Structure 1
Amino acid sequence: MLDKPDVPRTGFFALPDHGVITLEGRDALAFAQAQCMSDVAALADHGWQWSGWLTPKGRVIALFAVLRLGAESAWLLVPDGDTESLAARLRGLVFRSKVKVEARPDLFVAGAFAAPAAARDATLSGDANGGVELDLGDGTLPRCLRVSNVAVEPDPAAQARWHAFDLAHGWLRLPPSQTEQWTPQQLSLDRLKAYSVKKGCYPGQEIVARTHFLGKAKRGLVLFGAPLAPAAGSEVLADGKALGTVACSGDAAGTGLPAAALALAVLPLERDDSATLEADGQSLAVLPLHDGLSR
């Protein structure tokens, strides 16, 4: 369970590492369904889900949440990455579809360690005109994310706590060096229901489905505590021998976990847990991944 007293409960703070891409038009939802790894067609109006975009080889280009604002409107809430570049790549796939893909620097993302006024679980509140709110709590600690045209002040300490909460729950915050490196299974994104193996075609779908149905997933996500955050891309060593790779890391502030820093690494599912582990010169201690962010 995450530590409560050390986390501010009221007041929004800026999440400048988050951005929004909007898909608008008659074919907006069909376009999202064809490109995203989650089942966008299953969303009702004002529903949202974790998702991502893959290469044809099934590697994660970007992770995001898909928000359905209406029959002709979907938003991609991107926690990391260059939304302008991502939107440009998506526009290259529009062809004759009736959809407008835009990065929206005029929409600001803010967070608060407080319960949303109306949003609950996978149902958002608000609309495209007045702004929307999402429930990003885990059932124990409340979190509210807001997207609107109103900018708020930054709070680096609160932003670091937000980042740490994501890592502790297995929602990866991939830096550029780790994009197009991992399959959804290797990142254990089934925990968050972030991809589908049953819906129709999307980039990388064949690889994802084959891995799932043939039981070929050999690696998965592990949460570690460390004295200092090891760099993304660092090798995880077990008794001095290469075992896996750090996908992302950050401060553990406000989590109540017995570590100063956190790291999410991709390791073999079958391994010797008695080995001494380290990465980037830091000793690693395995920690349990928290549940509660699945939507």
Structure 2
Amino acid sequence: MTTAASTAPAIAHTPSATALRSLGVIRAQGEEAAKFLHGQLTQDFSLLGLSEARLAGFCSAKGRLLASFVGFKRAHDDILLLCGRDVLPATLKRLSMFVLRAKVQLSDATDAFQVWGLSGTDAAARPWSKTDGADGSQTVVLYPAAGLGRALWVAPVDVAAPALPPLEAAQWDWLEVMSGVAHVSQPIVEAFVPQMLNHESVGGVNFKKGCYPGQEVVARSQFRGTLKRRAYLVSSDAALSVGQDVFHSSDAEQPCGTVAAAAPHPAGGWNAIVSMQTSAATDGALHAGSATGPALGLLPLPYPLLEDI
């Protein structure tokens, strides 16, 4: 299937920037900040270095993602977690329930920091690496998309914003989709275990770390055999929305998947990340919304999948 959403992008390769007002910031401060987060999230924060960042999930007891973060240390006792503003209040409230006597203070620091998306950076840079600027900013390398390097730039609100040409927010959203890395937003809270979004393949799960909420379910999903649900990139001529059902031609009644992220293609059409049954990706036709809805075309993922163990 050929759609406008599978053609070359109309985004300049020169560096550009956009303010990411859809992202919020949770701040963890205190001598046990890293230890606390290590015990709550899917990634290792105890060994997190100052030149690294982490993709991490916060799961329910059933292993379902309540939120996902890009986390990094501003200092050894000061950690920022970037997540969608729509899931931040409930996530902060739930995380705070587990603090108990831990020497850590959690807060909503969204108003204290600015977050920008940078496009056209070094596409060969290592994802989840971090550099510190002399102005107090931090730059976190993300997975590239459509041949473009990408990064998050985070700084206190009183620091001068990046002096780069503007990038439209819709174009950044499209690059996020094309990176193949879906983050948790309100419509898909508790819809997926991390592997259903390929998080274990893009550095979002550490299977060697200690326990965290839902850890047994997440580990069992990985080690019991073939994973039966994965995230895929798709294209469509019609608009797609997060939380929308996806149907396979073999079953008109039961959906085979769910749209986890979606954005319009700069040249027309739409792209999306769909979490669906692996069997649905082998043959047959895919449709959004219903068995007779808009057709979806599968696109290759921009990264290899971690094989089932």
CA RMSD of aligned residues (A): 2.9
| 1:196 positional shift | 1.8
In the TM superposition, what whole-angstrom CA distance separates every residue of 1:9-59 from its partner, at most 9, and x where no partner exists? 334321101111111101000011001111222321231111110001000
Partner in structure 2 of residue 12 of structure 1: 17
Verify the 8 A CA contact 1:4 1:141 in the aligned structure 2.
Answer: no
Which AA in structure 2 matches 1:144? A
Kindly report which structure 2 residues correspond to 1:1-295, keeping only aligned pairs within 5 A, or say none.
3=8, 6-7=11-12, 9-104=14-109, 105-115=111-121, 121-126=127-132, 130-136=136-142, 138=144, 140-150=147-157, 158-215=168-225, 217-239=227-249, 241=252, 242-254=254-266, 260-271=269-280, 273-280=282-289, 281-291=293-303
Kindly tell me: are residues 234 and 220 of structure 1, through their superposed partners in 2, closer, same or farther at Cα, counting changes over 3 Å?
same
Question: How far apart in 2 are the matches of 1:75 and 1:128?
Answer: 18
Query: Can you give the 5+ residue segments of structure 1 that lack an aligned partner in the other structure?
Result: none
Which AA in structure 1 matches 2:269? A
In the TM superposition, what whole-angstrom CA distance separates every residue of 1:204-253 from its partner, at most 9, and x where no partner exists? 00111112121152111121101123233332222252342223242243
| 1:272 positional shift | 6.3
In the TM superposition, what whole-angstrom CA distance separates every residue of 1:59-84 from its partner, at most 9, and x where no partner exists? 00011112123321211111453423
Kindly tell me: are residues 157 and 127 of structure 1, through their superposed partners in 2, closer, same or farther at Cα, counting changes over 3 Å?
closer
Question: How far apart in 1 are the matches of 2:217 and 2:143?
Answer: 32
Question: How far apart in 2 are the matches of 1:272 and 1:251?
Answer: 21
Which AA in structure 1 matches 2:298? V
Which AA in structure 2 matches 1:197? F
| 1:5 positional shift | 5.6
Question: How far apart in 2 are the matches of 1:253 and 1:264?
Answer: 13
Of stretches 267-276 and 47-56 in structure 1, the one that deviates more from structure 2 is: 267-276
Kindly tell me: are residues 11 and 271 of structure 1, through their superposed partners in 2, closer, same or farther at Cα, counting changes over 3 Å?
closer
In the TM superposition, what whole-angstrom CA distance separates every residue of 1:58-116 from its partner, at most 9, and x where no partner exists? 00001111212332121111145342332222111100000010111221111222427
Which AA in structure 2 matches 1:245? G
Of stretches 9-18 and 233-242 in structure 1, the one that deviates more from structure 2 is: 233-242
Of stretches 213-222 and 198-207 in structure 1, the one that deviates more from structure 2 is: 213-222
Identity of aligned residues (%): 26
Query: Can you give the 5+ residue segments of structure 2 that lack an aligned partner in the other structure?
Result: 1-5
Question: How far apart in 2 are the matches of 1:190 and 1:137?
Answer: 14
Which AA in structure 1 matches 2:235? G
Verify the 8 A CA contact 1:48 1:123 in the aligned structure 2.
Answer: yes
Question: How far apart in 1 are the matches of 2:57 and 2:29?
Answer: 18
Verify the 8 A CA contact 2:245 2:259 in the aligned structure 1.
Answer: no
The SS at the match of 1:284 is: strand
Question: How far apart in 2 are the matches of 1:100 and 1:127?
Answer: 25
Verify the 8 A CA contact 1:13 1:152 in the aligned structure 2.
Answer: no
The SS at the match of 1:56 is: coil
TM-score normalised by length of structure 2 = 0.82
In the TM superposition, what whole-angstrom CA distance separates every residue of 1:100-139 from its partner, at most 9, and x where no partner exists? 10111221111222427xx864331227971211122529
Question: How far apart in 2 are the matches of 1:127 and 1:102?
Answer: 24
Verify the 8 A CA contact 1:23 1:73 in the aligned structure 2.
Answer: yes
Verify the 8 A CA contact 2:265 2:271 in the aligned structure 1.
Answer: no
